[in-house]
Amino acid sequence: MNKERWNKLLEEMKADGLDGLVLVPGPNLYYMTGLRMGLSERPSLCAIEAFGAATFLMPGFEITKGENLAATLLDQGVEMEFRMESFSDEEGPGPAFARVFQGKGGTWGLEYTSARMLEYSLMKKAMGDFAFVDAGTIMKKLRMIKDQSEIRAMETACSLCDLGVDIARRRLLPGMRASQIVLEVERYLKERGAEAIHASLATGPDTAVPHAGTSRTTVSEGDIVWLDLCVSVNGYWGDITRTWAVGGRFSTELERVYRIVQEAQENARLNAKPGMSGAEIDALARDVIASYGYGDQFIHRTGHGLGLEVHEEPYIVSSNLVPLEAGMTFTIEPGIYLPGRGGVRIEDDVVLTADGARSLTNYPRNLADEDGKLVV
């Protein structure tokens, strides 16, 4: 697995004419090395050179992490020359950057959304003038198609999403605070292996705002409520949204809106397949909603890629004309939002297969339960 990733990375670097590429702590570095650490005032990075060398530059007290990772990667068959460079707090990072980058030049890839002026300025001081491009372009290409180990991690995360949604639905009782329900969901999922959780439970008019966050209110009979829940396992995320009416009684208008969103979501989820662009999948949902006269109330894209980040490529949006491929994972989450009244969103995660799309989240989407009653 890791051997293939490194080989593909070097191929892409050479094809793009890059002399080197720098990854800082974050999803891309984790994807290539398995290293998990945060950005801090002490810079850490992996400098990868096109001829087949990679240097871990880290604070001295962290360098054993780099040494251990290098040993693991070599055991996995990665054909790279791994080097270590460290610095002490007394020395500071400048001399270490000079030892790694001095005398080098050409074109280097830097992560536009992750690398900071700290790393850039230290590289520039060591290298002088050098050209740089967005390393994220290459990394997005590598990460968009998931291998089986990644999909297994996402399946586990998505199963926890389903469990969390069920806990929330059962706790939607009049008088409960939205924040208390979220805390109970988080505690339940962490006890079952969730590494990180992002949860928002919006109620009443707050549901008309797509990213409203958790409402600062108690739940009342007849409230419309949605839960947007993200859960990570082994670094990989699941993401789900379900909408309910407390007590099972939607207003006539919002019940109609729910059925429209359900139809739109199902149309996109069941008909997405490889070869379609993000724009075509977006249209599968958007055209249904527009046909009922709510096109202006569907105010965001239909979905986003999912993996090591909650939002990543590919985006399911009208501007994405690139054909999608088997192994890509993304959300399908159309919604209708009526200011002052409420909003409905239904979100699932799918992986493209050879001939269609398989849902990774599977909590019931029906408006009615098995007895024909509106769900609480």
Enumerate residues 6+ apart whose C-beta is below 8 A from 48. Answer: 9, 13, 20, 21, 22, 23, 32, 54, 80
Give me the pLDDT at residue 284, please.
Answer: 98
Name the 3-class secondary structure at 276: coil
| Distance, CA of 131 to CA of 163 (rounded, Å) | 49
Q: For position 129, what pLDDT does the model report?
A: 79
Domain architecture of the chain: domains with CATH: 2-143 (3.40.350.10), 148-359 (3.90.230.10)
| End-to-end Cα, the chain, rounded Å | 44
Q: Which is more confident, 366 or 202?
A: 202
What pLDDT was estimated at residue 1?
A: 59
The rounded distance, in Å, linking the Cα atoms of 165 and 346 is 12
Q: What does the pLDDT look like over 243-301, one tens digit per residue?
A: 999 987 888 999 999 999 999 999 999 999 999 999 999 999 999 999 999 999 999 99
Q: Where are the alpha helices (DSSP H) in the chain?
A: 2-15, 27-33, 63-75, 94-101, 117-127, 136-144, 148-170, 178-190, 252-271, 278-291
- Asked whether residue 196 carries a pLDDT value surpassing 90, the answer given is yes
CB of 188 closer than 8 Å to CB of 163: yes
The Cα 44–Cα 36 span in angstroms is: 11
DSSP string, 16-54: TT-SEEEE-TTHHHHHHH-------SS--EEEEETTTEE
Give me the mean pLDDT over the 137-166 stretch: 97
What is the pLDDT at residue 126? 94
CB atoms within 10 A of CB 105: 13
Over residues 99-108, the pLDDT tens digits come to: 999 999 899 9
The mean pLDDT value for 357-376 works out to 71
Give the span between the Cα atoms of 355 and 367, in whole angstroms: 29
| Percentage of the chain modeled with pLDDT above 70 | 97
311: left (phi over 0), alpha (psi -120 to 50) or beta: beta
Q: What pLDDT does 297 receive? A: 98
Query: What integer pLDDT is reported at residue 330 of this predicted model?
Result: 98
The tokens 């890509």 sit on which residue?
328
Rounded Cα–Cα distance for residues 252 and 273 (Å) = 34
Residue 178 has pLDDT above 70, yes or no: yes
**Would you state the pLDDT for residue 366?**
83
Contact 49, 126 (CB under 8 A): no
- Cα–Cα distance for residue pair 240/162, rounded to 1 Å: 8
* Burial label, 142 (beta-carbon count in 10 A; 0-12, 13-18, 19+): middle
- Tell me the average pLDDT of the chain: 94
